[in-house]
């Protein structure tokens, strides 16, 4: 499968993109998050945990028609375990539940985007959908984090 992280359209530099593509992503469809998906730290950060998340667009090859391969863009929710962390004193089921709800929000927007993208439209359309849903996802994530005091409630 070919993968395209559309963070480029949001201003990510080439070096960041290269680093991001060498990271191992964990996808939503791999099952619920576990404590092992987060690096444990003694951080003095006020937050008890942090998850680097995003939407990835993968080009899935469909059955060949008339010897011409056809690809369909499939949005997927992902997180980066190597860049996600929990403080040792916060590495518990409540913090994990908070991060799972956040990951559920990312998956919600991957599914909404997938539903609208089914009609095709090429890369310009894909970027338009990505930007639209990424912005909506970030707004909802901000509201969620504020309402839950970053998982401390």
**Per-residue model confidence (pLDDT) at position 85:** 95
For the chain of 153 residues, list the mean pLDDT of each consecutive stretch of 10. Answer: 35 42 86 97 89 88 73 88 95 96 95 77 68 88 89 70
With H, G, I as helix, E, B as strand and everything else as coil, classify residue 147. Answer: helix
The string of pLDDT tens digits covering residues 19-63 is: 555 679 999 999 999 999 999 999 888 889 999 999 988 877 777
Cite the beta strand spans of the chain per DSSP E.
2-4, 26-27, 39-41, 49-50, 53-65, 68-79, 85-87
Helix (H) or strand (E) holding 93: helix 93-117
Closest alpha carbon to 135 in 4, 9, 14 = 9
Give the span between the Cα atoms of 94 and 115, in whole angstroms: 32
> For residues 80 and 22, is the Cβ–Cβ distance under 8 A?
no
Give the span between the Cα atoms of 137 and 37, in whole angstroms: 22
């Amino acid at each position: 499968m070919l993968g395209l992280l559309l963070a480029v359209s949001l201003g990510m530099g080439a070096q960041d993109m290269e680093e991001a593509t060498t990271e191992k992503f964990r996808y939503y469809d791999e099952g619920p998050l576990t404590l092992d998906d987060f690096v444990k730290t003694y951080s003095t950060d006020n937050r008890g945990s942090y998850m680097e998340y995003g939407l990835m667009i993968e080009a899935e090859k469909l059955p060949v028609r008339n010897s011409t391969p056809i690809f369909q863009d499939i949005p997927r929710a992902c997180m980066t375990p190597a860049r996600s962390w929990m403080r040792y004193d916060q590495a518990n089921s409540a913090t994990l539940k908070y991060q799972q709800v956040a990951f559920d929000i990312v998956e919600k927007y991957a599914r909404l985007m997938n539903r609208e993208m089914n009609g095709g439209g090429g890369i310009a359309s894909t970027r338009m959908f990505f930007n639209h849903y990424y912005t909506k996802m970030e707004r909802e994530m901000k509201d969620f984090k504020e309402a839950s005091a970053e998982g401390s409630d």
